[in-house]
Amino acid sequence: MKTVIVQGLGFVGAAMSVAVAIVKDSKNIPLFSVIGLDQPTNSGKERIDKINLGIFPFKTNDRKLDSCLKECVQSGNLVATDDKGSYEKADVVIVSINCDLLDNDGVSSIDLDRFKCSVKDIADHVTEDTLIIIESTVPPGTCEKIINPLFHNTFVKRGLDPDSVYIAHSYERVMPGENYLNSITNYWRVYAGINERSADKCEEFLVQVINASDYPLSRLGSTTASEIGKLLENSYRATNIAFIEEWGRFAESVGVDIYEVIEAVRKRSTHSNIRQPGFGVGGYCLTKDPLFAKIAAKEIFGLGGHDFPFSSKAVEVNKKMPLITLEKIKTYYNGSITGKKILIMGVSYKQDIGDTRYSPSETFYHETIKAGAEITGYDPMVEYWEEIDTKVLNDLPPINEYDIVVFAVPHREFRDIDFRLWIPNSKECLIFDANNVLTKKQLLDIARTKCGYLSIGRG
């Protein structure tokens, strides 16, 4: 049985560990012994402990993921640790760690130092003939110009054959939610190797984990091409969202429901993936990935003239989206929300997940505090809001305690709220649908109350 180590047990790595551990042969015997490896920090140790107890370290509504994790832990082919010595056992190492974007007085750069240190840990311990798959989102050129030389030099110093390590890039397309695990095992995968042997080794591994018969793999000509693929995907999506923002503002001004228009446009197959305006863009990908190529062009390839104006502008526009909601609320209250009590419905960055990284709700939270309001978070998927360092309500509170209710995230639970029961006949407050959260029935029920109503994207 081959040993696979997944470096990094975050939202991607934890799920990837399960995806590899559930693979079985024709006799229903696991193909891989999987070791999930994380840092010996408080958060890292917490993730390690939970996985070893058969508990997924992040709140999820994917029952398949939960059950598969328990099965793998009970069968003994999935364990988690912070022991770097585990790399010595590895036949395959999957690198699934963050490569962060830094902001130095308004100038963006990529934190490659921490990433390189983590990769160096691998190079210091693995043996010859190990396959290294970089799953992380990295700047173009990282595998070719940084990781491959790092392994080459380290292996030479260790007296190992520098050509005996196989390096590949295969970026993740993980989508947390009810199909969390399936987004890994039953979805198209892109990959490339630093050379043909590495690409072949990567393909041999991926076809055992991915349902490649229904979701064929795409081999690209170089690791740099694969690195660009992930960034291009996310930059396209971020730009699409930013583009539709200006149309949302126009629709509001002329009394048109832009969501109705978008649904009509989406029926045209060439426009089926047009985005919609909303509360904001968050998460670990769309908020930074569009800037990676611009930085890589200068810092890794030494190129000039590649400013990526559309991608850069998209990040700028999307970052301001939560402030549109805030300004509309201020206007409703004649410019001031001092002393107002606000309930924000959803603090995660996306529906039906518990990930609060770079959530637009965080931006909204800080700005409403500056404006003199009080704000409370309610989210059925989040117990503690780490970025704000505060607890989050998990049970729907009485609306009587609030002046303003902002629906920021379209969690499925919010569409089950019965406003006829939740809003007393005498209650006057502002209901703000900032992300096309509420159903038509809910909107009709709100219209029968004394509450005010505003939205993003509707006239």
DSSP secondary structure string for all residues of 187-228: S--EEEESSHHHHHHHHHHHHHHS-TTTS--EE-SSHHHHHH
One domain, residues 270 and 203: no
Q: What is the mean pLDDT of residues 438-454?
A: 95
Give a yes or no: residue 22 inside a domain.
yes
Closest CA to 221 of 257, 192, 184, 250: 192
Q: Which two tokens stand for residue 405?
A: 């209710």
Asked whether residue 265 is domain-assigned, the answer is: yes
Q: Does residue 178 share a domain with residue 144?
A: yes
Distance of CA 310 to the CA centre of its chain: 22
Shared domain for 401 and 432, answered yes or no, is yes
pLDDT of 402-432, one tens digit each? 999 999 999 999 999 999 999 998 889 999 9
| Domain assignment present for 412 | yes
Q: Are residues 273 and 316 in the same domain?
A: yes
Same domain for 278 and 180: no
Collapsing DSSP states into helix, strand and coil, what is residue 405?
strand
Task: Give yes or no: residues 185 and 267 share one domain.
Answer: no
Whether the predicted pLDDT of 388 surpasses 90: yes
> What mean pLDDT value characterizes the chain?
95
**216-238 CB burial, b ≥16 within 10 A, e <16:** eeebbebbbebbbbbbebbbebb
Asked if the model's pLDDT at residue 111 lies above 90, the reply is: no
Mean pLDDT of 104-126: 89
Residue 108 has pLDDT above 90, yes or no: no
> If you average pLDDT over residues 303-312, what whole number do you get?
93
Are 216 and 243 within one domain? no
Per-residue pLDDT at 99 = 86
**Same structural domain for residues 269 and 379?**
yes
Name residues whose C-beta falls within 8 Å of residue 355's C-beta, 6 or more positions apart in sequence. Answer: 11, 58, 176, 283, 284, 348, 349
Whichever domain contains 276, its CATH number is 3.40.50.720
Q: 294 and 171 in one domain?
A: no
| Residue 305 scores a pLDDT above 80 | yes
Are 246 and 213 in a shared domain? Answer: no
List, for residues 36-58, the tens digit of each pLDDT value.
Answer: 999 999 999 999 999 999 999 99
Q: Which residue has the higher pLDDT, 5 or 286?
A: 5
The pLDDT value given to residue 104 = 78
Q: pLDDT by residue (tens digit) across 130-182?
A: 999 999 999 999 999 999 999 999 999 999 999 999 999 999 999 988 899 99
Question: What does the DSSP 8-state code read for residue 30?
Answer: B
SS3 265: helix
Q: What is the mean pLDDT of residues 64-88?
A: 96
What confidence score (pLDDT) does residue 37 get? 97
CA distance 185 to 80: 21
Q: Which of 35-44, 71-80, 110-119, 182-191 has the lowest mean pLDDT?
A: 110-119
Domain extent at residue 381: 238-455
Separation of alpha carbons 302 and 148, rounded Å: 18
- How many domains does one find in the chain? 2
The verdict on residue 232 lying in a domain is no
- Tell me whether strands 374-378 and 341-345 are parallel, antiparallel or unpaired: parallel
Give per-residue pLDDT as tens, 317-366: 999 999 999 999 999 999 999 999 999 999 999 998 999 999 999 999 99
DSSP string, 134-185: E-S---TTHIIIIIHHHHHHHHHHTT--GGG-EEEE-------STTTTHHHH
Both tokens of 374, joined, read 């009080």
Q: How confident is the model at residue 260 (pLDDT cuts 50, 70, 90)?
A: very high
Same structural domain, 277 and 326: yes
Q: Is 100 domain-assigned?
A: yes
Do residue 174 and residue 253 come from a single domain? no
What pLDDT score was predicted for residue 105? Answer: 74
